[in-house]
Amino acid sequence: MKFPIQYLNSNDGSGILAFGEGERFQMSGKGTLAKLQEFIQLNSNNYIFGFLSYDLKNDIEDLKSSNTDHSTFPDAFFWVPEVVVKLNQEHFEFVQGKQTPENLEFLNFFIEEETDQNYHHFPFEFKQRTSKEEYLKTVLKLKDEIQRGNIYEINYCQEFYAENSTIQYPFDAYFKLNQLTKAPFSSFLSIDNHIILCGSPERFIKREGNKLISQPIKGTAGRGKTELEDAALILALKNDPKERAENVMIVDLVRNDLSKIAEKNSVVVDELCGIYSFETVHQMISTISCQVKTETRLIDVLRATFPMGSMTGAPKLRAMELIEENENFKRGIYSGSVGYIEPNGNFDFNVVIRSLTYNKENKYLSCAVGSAITIGSDPEKEYEECILKVNRILKGMNE
């Protein structure tokens, strides 16, 4: 097996697979982003893959993360894979590394794992770190912060976790999760003692030439049992004033973030509150874009936009402070980002949600979930939204 391994799966027949050891960067704490930018510049003629932890916020702002960290992901990990293969339906292209018999053997093995749907059961026993009573109290407390004008919106998350867990078949586990979620920003990553099984429907940020694109999600509804019920749920979500308000507030935040690095008057809302249907839920998604100067670096983009507004709130800084005060786990890679950088400087990064994260060393498995709290939030309904989003994964993996 050629580690590290990262797979970015669009669930439309296309994807990109990276594997094999190469130059790597791993760091936590102050100065991480500056060192990461140096690493990117040193390897700028290569494909670079990796992830960004939510806790990079502390390198961008004067913040801290003091909640208990069971998963212990580094703040950033990137590497230059030995091999990168672009997949499109039945076709594949080696864009980095050689098409050796050994590399082809691994590629064929990976594709077979994807097509073989005879999944194992994963009988994980998840516990809820936050009781329902505690969750409801915290939502009321956060609504009070909104009432006082300290924030307008905050993404409040809770963690479900399983101890002494063993993922014996990580590829199988990922493809089973992917079968449950079938999301456009799905990803698998295995490095050293850490595994990410990600079923994300959300893009954080993409660069195409001098264009940046961000697609925050805010607004969720369940899937119906019939086409008629599904259509009614879509209509209700589209016209729900609370869900639209959530989305519009984050659109404004993203517009503001992008404006810090955008060419003058280039920030555009390409789509506001579009409804998109996924395997388990309907989501409200907006698309915001801008133009940047050619010399704009990834570090400049991250300092302006990370962590993503959909996972923090508005205003972002105060929301992140309140997240730290009111959540009872360190987010780490959850609500961070997995992605890659191309040799031409283009990049694409997702939002790590709807995911299982695993530490092989301490056998700790985590599945966090959250929702946006606004002045119009009903604590019971926010709780139900969290359970709706997380149950499909927790129960589905065990079926």
| Residues 6 or more apart whose Cβ sits within 8 Å of residue 397 | 122, 124, 173, 176, 177, 180, 356
Q: Report cis status (omega within 30 of 0) of the bond before 216.
A: no
The pLDDT of residue 123 is: 86
Which positions are annotated as active-site residues? 202, 218
At residue 115, the pLDDT reads 87
Per-residue confidence (pLDDT) for residue 117, from 0 to 100 = 83
Q: Give the whole-number percent of the chain exceeding pLDDT 90.
A: 94
Q: Which CATH number does the domain housing residue 227 bear?
A: 3.60.120.10
**Residues spanned by the domain of 233:** 5-115+122-396
Q: What is the pLDDT of residue 159?
A: 98
pTM of this structure: 0.97
Residue 232 has what pLDDT? Answer: 96
- Amino acid letter at 389? K
Residue 312 phi/psi, 5-degree rounding, is -120, -80
Overall domain count for the chain: 1
| Residue 45 phi, psi (nearest 5) | -95, 10
Beta strand 83-88 with 14-19: parallel, antiparallel or unpaired? antiparallel
What local confidence, expressed as pLDDT, does residue 189 receive? 98
Output the pLDDT for position 109: 93
The low-confidence residues of the chain, meaning pLDDT below 70, are: none
Would you state the torsion angle of the CA atoms of residues 236, 237, 238, 242, taken in this order, to the nearest 10 degrees?
110
Residue 247 near residue 218, CB atoms below 8 Å: yes
